[in-house]
Structure 1
Amino acid sequence: MATPIGAKRVVSREQVVRGASRFFLEHGTVDMDRLATALAISRATLYRVVRSRDGLLGDVLWLLAERLLVRARQQRRRGGDDGVLEVTQRFTDQIRGSAPFRAFLRGEPETAARVLLNATGGVHRRAVSAQREILREVHGPGGPWSPSALDQLAYLYVRIVESMIYAELLGGAPLDPALAERAARAVLRPSG
């Protein structure tokens, strides 16, 4: 049913994020003017719904990453630390193989760093939470860590993974995956 002339179209944040995700996969970015047109809403409505482009990008990148992470978790065949590392390897292989994601990192490095790595960007915080759940899932409810140690472990583990995925974005050379895996494995060992 068409929206009557002069009437405002109501759109939810979820609809915008889904539309922006499709746009990102096609273009490797989110252009707010073109997205508003694609969603048949005004730019003012788009900003009213999402507040900021960075916030929208954080939601889009997390939605896409979460899909890959769910798939990696479903494909896991090992348990314990090897299972945690298997999920990480599957996930990072998919992320690094994503042409739209690589285009975003190359085309908008400052925005990418802000959205992906800062606490306010939304992606890092969600990644730590997801990693905490992976650790619980693989090691069982008790696991070898206290709740506060588990939070810190998830944070450190994610920072190692981010260092591997975003090495060039962080101003360094690409990390050797074997070295990154040894560092991640060392973090997973409970202290005695």
Structure 2
Amino acid sequence: MSHVLDPTIPFASDDPVLQVAIAMFERDGWIDVRSLAKEAGIGRATLYRRYGDRDRILGEVVWALFLAAAARQRSDYHGRGAEGIAEAIGKSQRAGAEMPAMRKFVTEHTDVALRVMTSSHGVLQRRVIASIVRLMLLEIGEPPDIDAATLAYAVARVGESFYHRELITGEPPDYDAAAVIIRRLLNYQPVRPPNRAD
């Protein structure tokens, strides 16, 4: 079965090649395409045709790990409104920072990691923004004076800048500062109240 290489469509969570790629990333903090093809039992040409290049596969792996971490954190999610969104983003960032494979990926393959995690051409950026939009509309409603996706993009960039601060300025990450700024960005009166049961 051939994947449609549409970056808006995640690989299936039970995809056998994705599972091998996740195990390799958790072990090595990296994806070697030749080794991945061998361990998955398919040819490299088939791997590229069905799954795309290494950046695409890395993006899918990081996204799958992000979703797994978010699912584990869901029961501990107590915030509402802007506070809740800032809390959710902060917990996601901390989960990534505490993952040895992710730390190795970012420190040993910095250029690739930044490209995979922040490029508008990759799979992660658009999915993170879409997830923030969904949270915004659920928790605080539509912003009154700006497109929701544009505001979500700004929120994502704030989170990224503090998550990657060590790479940018040499200073350690500061998730608390990111949370304060995100709360301020999202502290608005919505166009209409959120349609949810309290």
TM-score bracket, shorter-length normalisation:
0.7 to 0.9
How do 1:143-182 residues align onto structure 2 when only pairs under 5 Å count?
A: 143-146=141-144, 148-182=146-180
Greater RCO, CA 8 A, separation 6+: 2
| 2:177 aligned partner, one-letter code | L
Pairwise CA distance, 1:32: 0.9
Q: In structure 2, what is the equivalent of residue 76 of structure 1?
A: 77
Name the CA shift for 1:99/1:27 in 2 (closer, same or farther; >3 Å): same
Contact 1:55–1:121 (8 Å) recurs in 2: yes
Contact 1:144–1:190 (8 Å) recurs in 2: no
The percent identity for this pair of structures is 27
Give deviations 1:91-149, integer Å, cap 9, x for gaps: 1111110000000011111111111111112111111001111122323xxx1515953
When the two chains are superposed, the root-mean-square deviation of aligned CA atoms in Å is 2.3
| 1:35 aligned partner, one-letter code | L
Structure with larger Rg? 1
Q: What is the CA–CA distance in structure 2 between the aligned matches of 1:170 and 1:113, rounded to whole Å?
A: 11
Q: In structure 1, what is the equivalent of residue 186 of structure 2?
A: 188
Q: In structure 1, what is the equivalent of residue 32 of structure 2?
A: 31
Pairwise CA distance, 1:167: 1.6
How do 1:55-94 residues align onto structure 2 when only pairs under 5 Å count?
A: 55-94=56-95
> 5+ unaligned residues in a row in structure 2: which ranges?
4-10, 191-198
How do 1:95-174 residues align onto structure 2 when only pairs under 5 Å count?
A: 95-139=96-140, 143-146=141-144, 148-174=146-172
> 5+ unaligned residues in a row in structure 1: which ranges?
1-9
Q: What is the CA–CA distance in structure 1 between the aligned matches of 2:71 and 2:110, rounded to whole Å?
A: 26
Q: What is the CA–CA distance in structure 1 between the aligned matches of 2:167 and 2:67, rounded to whole Å?
A: 21
Answer with 107-116 or 37-46: which moved more.
37-46
Name the CA shift for 1:101/1:175 in 2 (closer, same or farther; >3 Å): closer
**What secondary structure is seen at the aligned counterpart in 1 of 2:172?**
coil
Q: In structure 2, what is the equivalent of residue 17 of structure 1?
A: 18
Q: What is the CA–CA distance in structure 1 between the aligned matches of 2:135 and 2:74, rounded to whole Å?
A: 8
Contact 2:144–2:189 (8 Å) recurs in 1: no
Q: What is the CA–CA distance in structure 1 between the aligned matches of 2:139 and 2:24, rounded to whole Å?
A: 34
Pairwise CA distance, 1:187: 0.8
**What secondary structure is seen at the aligned counterpart in 2 of 1:158?**
helix
| 1:160 aligned partner, one-letter code | V
| 1:29 aligned partner, one-letter code | W
Give deviations 1:154-174, integer Å, cap 9, x for gaps: 111111111111122335422
